[in-house]
Chain A
Amino acid sequence: MTGQEKDNELAERLARRSAEVEVLRRVALDVNATLDLDSIYEIVLRTMDECFGFRHAIILLLEDPGMLRVVAGRGYEHQALGGTVVVGVGVIGMVAKRRRLMRMNHLRSQQAYFERIRSQMQEAGRAAELGDVVAVPGLPDADSQIAIPLTIKDKLIGVLSVESREPEPFSEHDETLVSIVASQAASAIQNALLYRAVEDRRRELVEAHASLKQLNETLEERVRLRTRELEQANLDLRETQAQLVRSSTMASLGTLAAGIAHELNTPMGAIHSNADVERRAVRVIKSVLNEPSITGKLGPQPRLERTLRILDEVNQMTLEASERVTRIVQSLKSFARLDQPELEWVDLHEGIESVLILMDHLIKDRIHVIKNYGELPRVKCYASQINQVFANLLTNAVEAIHGAGRITIATKQEGSDLVIQVADTGSGIRPEHLERIFDPGFTTKGVGVGTGLGLSITYRIIENHQGSIQVESEPGRGTTFTLRLPITPTP
């Protein structure tokens, strides 16, 4: 080679090297300017092909500790995408396992060598010692290959492989070029993977936050609803409990009343009978003393006459008292009516009267009770429950009257309904309380004084009888409760 030729060759080599350096510089800039994996793959593989002439190249990423997957390819008919390589198998697998670059030439002859031995082993009956032939992604007739691990500080993230059908296309210099590109690619891919992971995580967090926010909002609403449900359930429970207590009380009262009535009947009968006998005896004595034969002999007897008069009055009082006791006991039985738990035809006036008698000690000398009773047919109802309603309304009316006052009870028939009104001249109910007067647990009597369940139970009872109850009130003037009951409830 002449001096000129040598100079030309040197110049050419220098130009080639400069071009390569420029390519490597561009690759470094381009792969690090993007965080998109596909773009990075494209830059790397395009550089391999267009700048270095390596037409067949694939990039594999480590999917799990034992396997690599082809994520990008160039120069393959089927692009090899998705193909997998087991770490430790084949050139790529060995590069991944040992984390070292491999440049292999004359692959076909080496493979043929092993295939020949494999055949011989099979012919010699030693097939059991052989494993399976593994198909690896890439050119089926590749004769040379450079495979280089993509690592970040000794951590393997993948492999870059370039192949050729030529037996010796790759030089040591090509190893260097591929190594430099691989190094840039590794860090760019790692960054992109991290970015993707961060982005995925960020999206997950945003979605989770949105879900949480929505959950919070619905949770608050659900808590509110649930609280209301629980409050209602609590009140229902208390109402039921109160009703049970009342029923139980009423049952006990009925039993007690029945027992009292039974025990009192006989002695009361004796007292009444004796008083009656005494009254007649006094009459006989008076009659005898008034006979002429006796007055002529005894003369006027003012002390005897006065004594007989007193005896007469006492007997009358005894009679009246025993009759009163009998009425009270009867009222008690009538009020409880627990011996008759089924629907029955009931005279509502009887129920009202029995309640009034039982409340006499609260009413007399203080409250004037006015009765405007209309002609009422019997009504089909649960007598004990209706009596409970009357007791509740009348008790509230009595308690609302501080000092002297008036309770007016009016009854009438309106079509198929009976209307009962209980009006008092008590303290009245404030307008803001009126709408809650039938709410379970609501009371104006203060904590621990009333259960607040009386009117709610009253409301429930009337509702169960397919009736209605309304209230009108004026603070300082009084309150009027109006019940409406169907004479015959629909079954």
Chain B
Amino acid sequence: MIPGMILKFLQDRGTIAVSGTRDTQRVPHIHYVSGWDVEPDHQTIRCTINRAYLEHLLSSLEDNGQFSLTVEQIGTHETYQLKGNYAGTAEPNAADFAAHQRMKDRFGKAVNLLFGIPEEHCRAYIWPPNVVVRFSVREIFLQTPGPGAGHRVFPPEER
């Protein structure tokens, strides 16, 4: 199960997210995530992705099932990378759209605060979801720049 503090981060603070897959040739690909939500099992995460980023996505997931999601809070740079196994796709539902809206709002506010770019402009930059990718979290790594970056926080590293 995803630790509570990470759940809280994903729920309340995460501002921007990006995912990565790799194809059969082990060539990596980027897929921007326009929203995320944690399913009730607190293990599976739903990521909403716009069709602009679908190239190589499903074929890679079908091939090897490897999916990485990196979520950052803009401003504090608090960042976690969640790696897991593909658990299928779905159509975005109301909750997914709500998650998308949450992300847009946070993104708009944070970028406006940091860079002075108008909120509306920032919100418009985040394209709406077209597909939901579900994955079961296997490992979580701290990616916040600084001491501890790269350490695995779930499951805890053996001392």
Q: Is A109 touching B146 in the complex (CB atoms < 8 A)?
A: no
If A113-B77, A116-B76 touch, does A121 touch B146 (CB 8 Å cutoff)?
A: yes
Give the interface SS of chain A, mostly helix, strand, loop or mixed.
helix
| In the complex, chain A residues whose CB is within 8 Å of the CB of B116 | 167
Any A CB within 8 A of the CB of B145 = yes
Q: Is B145 touching A109 in the complex (CB atoms < 8 A)?
A: no
| In the complex, chain B residues whose CB is within 8 Å of the CB of A121 | 146-147
B151 to chain A, nearest CB (A): 12
Among B114, B115, B146, which residue has its beta carbon within 8 angstroms of that of A117? B146
Interface residues on A, range: 10 to 19
Interface residues on B, range: 10 to 19
| In the complex, chain B residues whose CB is within 8 Å of the CB of A117 | 77, 145-146
Q: Is A109 touching B147 in the complex (CB atoms < 8 A)?
A: no
Q: Is A109 touching B148 in the complex (CB atoms < 8 A)?
A: no
A130 to chain B, nearest CB (A): 11
| In the complex, chain B residues whose CB is within 8 Å of the CB of A112 | 75, 114
Any B CB within 8 A of the CB of A232 = no
Among B77, B115, B148, which residue has its beta carbon within 8 angstroms of that of A116? B77
* A-B interface pairs (CB < 8 A), number: 26
If A113-B77, A116-B76, A116-B77 touch, does A106 touch B115 (CB 8 Å cutoff)?
A: yes
Any A CB within 8 A of the CB of B144 = yes
List B residues 103-125 near A (Cβ within 8 Å).
114-116
A169 to chain B, nearest CB (A): 13
Q: Is A124 touching B148 in the complex (CB atoms < 8 A)?
A: yes
Q: Is A120 touching B147 in the complex (CB atoms < 8 A)?
A: yes
| In the complex, chain A residues whose CB is within 8 Å of the CB of B148 | 120, 124
Q: Is A109 touching B77 in the complex (CB atoms < 8 A)?
A: no
Give the interface SS of chain B, mostly helix, strand, loop or mixed.
loop
| In the complex, chain B residues whose CB is within 8 Å of the CB of A109 | 114-115
Q: Is B147 touching A124 in the complex (CB atoms < 8 A)?
A: yes
| In the complex, chain A residues whose CB is within 8 Å of the CB of B77 | 113, 116-117
A248 to chain B, nearest CB (A): 101
Any B CB within 8 A of the CB of A280 = no
Contact bitstring A328-370, B, C-beta under 8 A = 1, else 0: 0000000000000000000000000000000000000000000
Q: How far is the CA of A126 from the CA of B76 in the complex (A)?
A: 19
Q: Is A116 touching B145 in the complex (CB atoms < 8 A)?
A: yes
| In the complex, chain B residues whose CB is within 8 Å of the CB of A126 | 147
Contact bitstring B134-159, A, C-beta under 8 A = 1, else 0: 00000000001111100000000000
Q: How far is the CA of A120 from the CA of B114 in the complex (A)?
A: 20
Q: How far is the CA of A113 from the CA of B146 in the complex (A)?
A: 10
Among A106, A113, A124, A167, which residue has its beta carbon within 8 angstroms of that of B145? A113
Q: How far is the CA of A117 from the CA of B114 in the complex (A)?
A: 17
| In the complex, chain A residues whose CB is within 8 Å of the CB of B147 | 120-121, 124, 126
| In the complex, chain B residues whose CB is within 8 Å of the CB of A120 | 144, 146-148
A3 to chain B, nearest CB (A): 31
Interface centre among A112, A113, A120 (most CB of B within 10 A): A120
Q: Chain B: which residue is nearest A114 at the CB level?
A: B145
Q: How far is the CA of A208 from the CA of B113 in the complex (A)?
A: 65
Q: How far is the CA of A126 from the CA of B147 in the complex (A)?
A: 9
Q: Chain A: which residue is nearest B78 at the CB level?
A: A116
Q: How far is the CA of A112 from the CA of B144 in the complex (A)?
A: 14
Q: How far is the CA of A121 from the CA of B148 in the complex (A)?
A: 10
Q: How far is the CA of A116 from the CA of B77 in the complex (A)?
A: 8
Q: How far is the CA of A247 from the CA of B5 in the complex (A)?
A: 118
Q: How far is the CA of A277 from the CA of B77 in the complex (A)?
A: 150
Q: How far is the CA of A117 from the CA of B143 in the complex (A)?
A: 12
Q: How far is the CA of A117 from the CA of B76 in the complex (A)?
A: 9
A113 to chain B, nearest CB (A): 6
B107 to chain A, nearest CB (A): 15
| In the complex, chain B residues whose CB is within 8 Å of the CB of A113 | 77, 145
Q: Is B115 touching A167 in the complex (CB atoms < 8 A)?
A: yes
A129 to chain B, nearest CB (A): 9
Q: How far is the CA of A109 from the CA of B146 in the complex (A)?
A: 16
List A residues 87-127 near B (Cβ within 8 Å).
106, 109, 112-113, 116-117, 120-121, 124, 126
Q: How far is the CA of A106 from the CA of B115 in the complex (A)?
A: 8
| In the complex, chain A residues whose CB is within 8 Å of the CB of B144 | 120
Q: Chain A: which residue is nearest B116 at the CB level?
A: A167
A167 to chain B, nearest CB (A): 7
Q: List 19 A-B contacts (CB under 8 A).
A: A106-B115, A109-B115, A112-B75, A112-B114, A113-B77, A116-B77, A117-B77, A117-B145, A117-B146, A120-B144, A120-B146, A120-B147, A121-B146, A121-B147, A124-B146, A124-B147, A124-B148, A126-B147, A167-B115
In the A-B complex, the 5 residue pairs with the closest CB atoms: A120-B146, A117-B146, A124-B147, A116-B77, A117-B145
Task: Contacts A116-B146, A117-B146, A120-B148 known; list 18 others, CB within 8 Å.
Answer: A106-B115, A109-B114, A109-B115, A112-B75, A113-B145, A116-B76, A116-B145, A117-B77, A117-B145, A120-B144, A120-B147, A121-B146, A121-B147, A124-B146, A124-B147, A126-B147, A167-B115, A167-B116
